[in-house]
Structure 1
Amino acid sequence: MIGQLLKSFVTVALTLLIAVIGWGAYHYFSFEQRDDETRLKGKRDYLEHIETLGANLNDAPDIIFILYDDMGYGDIGAGATRPGPIATPHLDALAENGMVLSDFHSPAPTCTPSRAGYLTGRLPPRAGLPHVIFPSDSRKAFFLHTMTGSDSNIRLPAEEITLAEVLQAAGYHTGMVGKWHLGDHSPSLPNDFGFDYYYGALYSNDMAPFELYRNRKIDVPAPVDQRYLSERYIDAALGFLEQAGAQRFFLYFAHNFPHDPLSARNERLGSSDGGLYGDVLEEIDEGIGALIAALRQSGRLDNTLIIVSSDNGPWYQGNAGGQRGRKGNTFEGGMRVPFIAHWPAAIDGGEHSTAMAMGTDLLPTVLEILALPAPNDRVLDGRSMLPVLQQGTAAPDRYLHYYDGETLFAVRDQRFKYRAAAGVHYATDQMPVAFAVSQKEWLFDLQADPGESYDVSARYPEKLEKLRQEFQRKQAEMAANKRGWVSR
Structure 2
Amino acid sequence: MAQQRKPNYIVIFMDDMGYGDLGCYGNRVLKTPVMDRIAADGVRFTQMYSAAPVCSPSRCGLLTGKYPQRVGIPRVLFPDDTAGLTQRDKTVAAYLQEHDYSSICIGKWHLGCLPEHNPIRHGFDRFLGLLYSNDMSPVHLYRDESVIETDTDQSALTEKYTDEAIRFIEEHKDKPFFCYLAHTMPHIPLHVPDAFRGQSAGGTYGDTIECIDYHIGRIMQTLQEHGLENDTLVMVSSDNGPWYEGSAGGLRGRKIDVYEGGVRMPFIAQWKGVIPPGTECGEVASLMDLLPTMVQLAGGRLDEAAGIDGKNIAPLLTGEGVSPHEALFYYYVDCLNAVRSGKWKLHVAMGGPQRRIRKEMPQLFDMELDPGECYNLADRHPDVVARLTGLIEQFDSTLQPVPNVVRGKRSE
Q: Under a length normalisation based on structure 2, what TM-score does the superposition of the two structures give?
A: 0.93
CA distance in 1, matches of 2:349, 2:227: 54
CA distance in 2, matches of 1:350, 1:58: 23
Pairwise CA RMSD: 2.0
Equivalences for residues 365-404 of structure 1 within 5 A: 365-395=293-323, 398-404=326-332
Structure number with larger C-alpha Rg? 1
CA distance in 2, matches of 1:322, 1:350: 23
Q: 2:53 aligns with which of 102, 109, 113?
A: 109
Aligned partner of 2:16: which letter? D
- Give CA-to-partner distance per residue, 1:392-437, whole Å, 9 cap, x none: 4323762111112111110011311011144699xxxxxxxx9764
Judge conservation of contact 1:61–1:248 (CA < 8 Å) in 2. yes
Q: Match for residue 8 of structure 1?
A: none
Q: 1:167 aligns with which of 96, 102, 111?
A: 96
Q: Match for residue 74 of structure 1?
A: 20
Equivalences for residues 51-70 of structure 1 within 5 A: 59-70=5-16
Equivalences for residues 145-164 of structure 1 within 5 A: 154-164=83-93
CA distance in 1, matches of 2:113, 2:330: 27
Equivalences for residues 11-90 of structure 1 within 5 A: 59-78=5-24, 80=25, 82-90=26-34
Structure 2: stretches of 5+ with no match in the other structure: 403-412
Aligned partner of 2:379: which letter? A
Equivalences for residues 406-485 of structure 1 within 5 A: 406-422=334-350, 437-438=357-358, 439-478=360-399, 481-482=400-401
Q: Does residue 1:320 correspond to 2:245, yes or no?
A: no
CA distance in 2, matches of 1:213, 1:313: 27
CA positional deviation for 1:315: 0.4
Structure 1 residues 289 and 461, CA, compared in 2 at 3 Å: closer, same or farther? same
Q: Which moved more, 1:334-343 or 1:385-394?
A: 385-394
CA positional deviation for 1:376: 2.0
Aligned partner of 1:409: which letter? N
CA distance in 2, matches of 1:172, 1:117: 21
Judge conservation of contact 1:68–1:256 (CA < 8 Å) in 2. yes
Aligned partner of 2:52: which letter? A
- Give CA-to-partner distance per residue, 1:336-379, whole Å, 9 cap, x none: 01001111132111011110111111111112212321102221
Matched-pair identity in %: 39
Judge conservation of contact 1:121–1:380 (CA < 8 Å) in 2. yes
Partner of 1:183, secondary structure, is coil
Judge conservation of contact 1:365–1:386 (CA < 8 Å) in 2. yes
Judge conservation of contact 1:355–1:414 (CA < 8 Å) in 2. no
Partner of 2:306, secondary structure, is coil
Partner of 2:229, secondary structure, is coil
CA positional deviation for 1:247: 1.7
CA distance in 1, matches of 2:120, 2:325: 38
CA positional deviation for 1:233: 1.0
Question: Whose helix proportion is higher, 1 or 2?
Answer: 1
Q: Which moved more, 1:436-445 or 1:373-382?
A: 436-445
Q: Match for residue 240 of structure 1?
A: 168
CA distance in 2, matches of 1:73, 1:116: 20
CA distance in 2, matches of 1:275, 1:288: 20
Aligned partner of 1:62: which letter? N
CA distance in 2, matches of 1:235, 1:421: 44
Stretches of 4+ aligned residues off by more than 6 angstroms: none
Structure 1 residues 94 and 422, CA, compared in 2 at 3 Å: closer, same or farther? closer
Q: Match for residue 406 of structure 2?
A: none
Aligned partner of 1:171: which letter? D
CA distance in 2, matches of 1:269, 1:201: 23
